[in-house]
Amino acid sequence: MDSLSKDWLTQGLIDFEYKKYVLLAYLQKVRESFGRVELYPFLSDLVFHYQNLKAVQENRTLLRDQFPRELSFEDFKKLILTYRQLVEDDSVMNELASIIEFAIPQIKESLDEGSLIYEYVESHCELAPVGVTPLYAHEGYLFVTQPPEDETSIYRYQLSIYEEQQEQLRSLNTRYIETAQKSPFEPYENLKISLTRRFSDLPNPAAYVVISRLRIPFTATLMPVAKRLLVKHLSAAA
């Protein structure tokens, strides 16, 4: 099983053994992915499922709200689309409580494993500015490379800041430009100068390079780590 549905808890058969099978099959795929040092999308999915289960465990109303609903016949005749909850049975709720109690530590164990791998990878990555950084650094270029550093993936980035539930959140959007061949001894400033000449809409861009000391899967691990490093850096500098 390559993914776990967001509503896996209440989707389909509500049975402890069945849900246990579904969850363990998914976590087996997670472990296989982590064994290849491929963190995403599984790591972010685990965070979602863990937080969701903890919230549901602490609030039975959330659990009931996850169930599908059906049209009430009386309201259907009146052409009013109101819904009646399918589940009002305490035995079902108790079964779900048992599933949640089993699932939380299982997911937490995999989440901890992924977090350790992430921290290890991040500790072997270095972020540095390329050339002089302008005052406005929320838009610019991101260079990402790993051994043997004979090529560099180049992205254009833009940092967006928005508020959700009175909390300020940051989102980094990236757009792939190209992969440039580069000698390990050639300065990254040369790439920045070339981009400035080609793209006149950013005459004085910010530019950063993330260099990994490990050879790791690029899309599934290095790029997400590089983006998070850049967000942390820009947030600290703001």
Give the residue-averaged pLDDT of 30-38: 97
pLDDT score recorded for residue 191 = 95
Give Cα separations from 79 to 66, 70, 75, 84 (angstroms): 24, 14, 6, 14
Are 37 and 221 in contact by the 8 Å Cβ rule? The answer is yes
d(Cα 22, Cα 64) in Å, to the nearest integer? 21
Spatial distance between the Cα atoms of 85 and 70, rounded to a whole number of angstroms: 7
Which residue matches tokens 């950063």?
208
The CA distance from 38 to 223, in Å, is 11
Tally of residues, the chain: 238
**How many whole angstroms separate alpha carbon 198 and alpha carbon 193?**
9
Q: Give me the pLDDT at residue 87, please.
A: 52
Please report the pLDDT score of residue 80 as a whole number: 46
Q: Please, which residues bridge with residue 84 across strands?
A: 70
- Burial class of 77 by CB neighbour count within 10 A (0 to 12, 13 to 18, 19+): exposed
The contacts of residue 108 (CB under 8 Å, 6+ apart) are 50
pLDDT of residue 83: 41
Residues 47-84: tens digit of each pLDDT: 999 998 998 888 876 666 776 666 566 655 554 444 45
3-state secondary structure of 9: coil
Domain ranges within the chain, ordered by starting residue: 16-123, 125-237
Find out if CATH 3.40.1530 is the number for domain 125-237. yes
Instruction: Note the pLDDT tens digit of each residue in 174-233.
Output: 999 999 998 878 899 999 999 999 999 999 999 999 999 999 999 999 999 999 999 999
Q: How confident is the model at residue 166 (pLDDT cuts 50, 70, 90)?
A: low
Look at residue 28 and tell me whether its pLDDT is greater than 50.
yes
Q: How far apart are CA 151 and CA 181, in angstroms?
A: 4
Tokens of 88: 């009002």
Q: How many CA atoms lie within 13 A of 54 on its CB side?
A: 10
Could you read off the pLDDT of 96-134 as tens digits, one per residue? 889 999 999 999 999 999 999 999 999 999 999 999 999
Tell me which DSSP letter residue 221 carries.
I
Pairing of strands 206-212, 139-145: parallel
- Beta bridge partner(s), residue 211: 126, 145
Tell me if residue 175 falls in helix, strand or coil: strand
Please write the tens of the pLDDT for every residue from 17-26.
999 999 999 9
